Chains A and B, each alone.
Chain A
Amino acid sequence: MTKKLLAALLLGGCAGNDDTQPDVANDETDAPVVYVSNYPLEYFANRIGGGVVRVEFPMTTATDPAFWRPDAAVVIAMQTADLILLNGATYEKWIDLVTLPAANVVNTSAGFVDRYLTVASAVTHTHGPEGEHSHEGTAFTTWLDPTLAILHAEAVTNALSERWPNSASAFQDNLAILREDLDRLDGDLGDATAALRDVPLLASHPIYQYFAAHYGLDIEAVTWEPDEMPSEREWNALRDLLRRHPARLMLWEAEPAAAIAARLAEMGVGALVFGQYGNRPDVGDYLDAMNANAERLGAPR
Chain B
Amino acid sequence: MPGSLYLAWRYVAHHWIKTTILTASITLIVFLPLGVRVLIQQSAEHLTARAEATPLLVGAPGSPLELVLNSLYFGTEMPDPLSYADVDSLDAGGLAQPIPLYTRFRAQSHPIVGTSLDYFAFRNLSVADGGLFTLLGECVIGVRVAEALGVGPGDAIVSSPESVFDLAGVYPLKMRVAGVLEFSDSPDDDAIFTDLKTTWVIAGIGHGHQDLTDASAAAGVLRRDSMTITANAAVVQYNEITEANIASFHFHGDLGSYPVTAIIAVPPDQRSATILRGRFEEGDLGAQIVVPSDVMDELLRTVLTVQTFVLAAVVVIGMGTLATAGLVFGLSIRARQREFTTMVKIGASPASVRWLVASEMAVVLSAAMLGATLLTFVTAAYGPPLIRALLL
Contact = CB atoms under 8 A, between A and B. Distances in A.
Contacts of A69: 246-247
Nearest to B117: A101
Interface in B249-275: 249-251, 255, 267-268, 272
A5 B122 CA distance: 12
A101 B116 contact: yes
A97 B247 contact: yes
B1 interface: no
B254 to A, nearest CB: 12
Given A100-B117, A101-B117, A4 B268 contact: yes
B97 A1 contact: yes
Interface stretch (B50-58, B88-96, B369-377): B88-96
Interface in B203-255: 206, 211, 213, 227, 246-247, 249-251, 255
A99 B120 CA distance: 13
Given A1-B268, A5-B97, A102-B116, A97 B136 contact: yes
Interface in A51-70: 69
Contacts of B131: 76
A132 B213 CA distance: 11
B329 interface: no
A79 B134 contact: yes
Given A97-B135, A132-B213, 11 more contacts: A4-B94, A69-B246, A75-B134, A79-B117, A96-B197, A96-B255, A97-B136, A97-B249, A101-B116, A103-B118, A121-B227
A69 B250 CA distance: 14
A20 interface: no
B132 interface: yes
Interface of A: 1-2, 4-5, 69, 72, 75-76, 79, 96-103, 121, 124, 131-132
Contacts of A99: 116-117, 132-136, 138, 195, 197
A114 to B, nearest CB: 16
A102 B196 CA distance: 12
Nearest to B134: A75
A155 to B, nearest CB: 15
B163 to A, nearest CB: 28
A98 B134 contact: yes
A63 to B, nearest CB: 14
Contacts, number: 67
Contacts of B251: 96
9 contacts: A5-B97, A69-B246, A72-B135, A75-B134, A97-B135, A99-B133, A99-B197, A100-B117, A101-B118
A75 B135 contact: yes
Given A79-B117, A96-B206, A103 B97 contact: yes
Residue of A4, A5, A121 most packed against chain B (CB within 10 A):
A5
Nearest to B265: A1
Nearest to B213: A124
B120 to A, nearest CB: 10
Contacts of A131: 247
Nearest to A9: B121
Contacts of B94: 1, 4
Nearest to B251: A96
Contacts of B132: 79, 99
A5 to B, nearest CB: 6
A99 B134 CA distance: 5
Interface in B77-98: 91, 93-97
A131 B211 CA distance: 13
Contacts of A96: 136, 197, 206, 249-251, 255
A100 B97 CA distance: 15
A97 B206 CA distance: 11
Contacts of A5: 97, 268
Contacts of A76: 131, 134
Residue of A72, A97, A101, A132 most packed against chain B (CB within 10 A):
A97
Contacts of B133: 99
B34 to A, nearest CB: 45
A98 B118 contact: no
Nearest to B243: A71
A98 B268 contact: no
Contacts of A79: 117, 132, 134
A37 B93 CA distance: 26
B247 A1 contact: no
Nearest to A104: B117
A135 to B, nearest CB: 14
A102 B87 CA distance: 11
Ranked nearest first, the 8 interchain pairs of A and B with the lowest CB-CB distance are: A75-B134, A99-B195, A2-B97, A1-B94, A101-B117, A97-B136, A72-B134, A99-B133
B55 to A, nearest CB: 13
A75 B178 CA distance: 13
B221 to A, nearest CB: 14
Residue of A72, A79, A102, A103 most packed against chain B (CB within 10 A):
A102
Residue of B132, B135, B211, B227 most packed against chain A (CB within 10 A):
B135
A100 B196 CA distance: 11
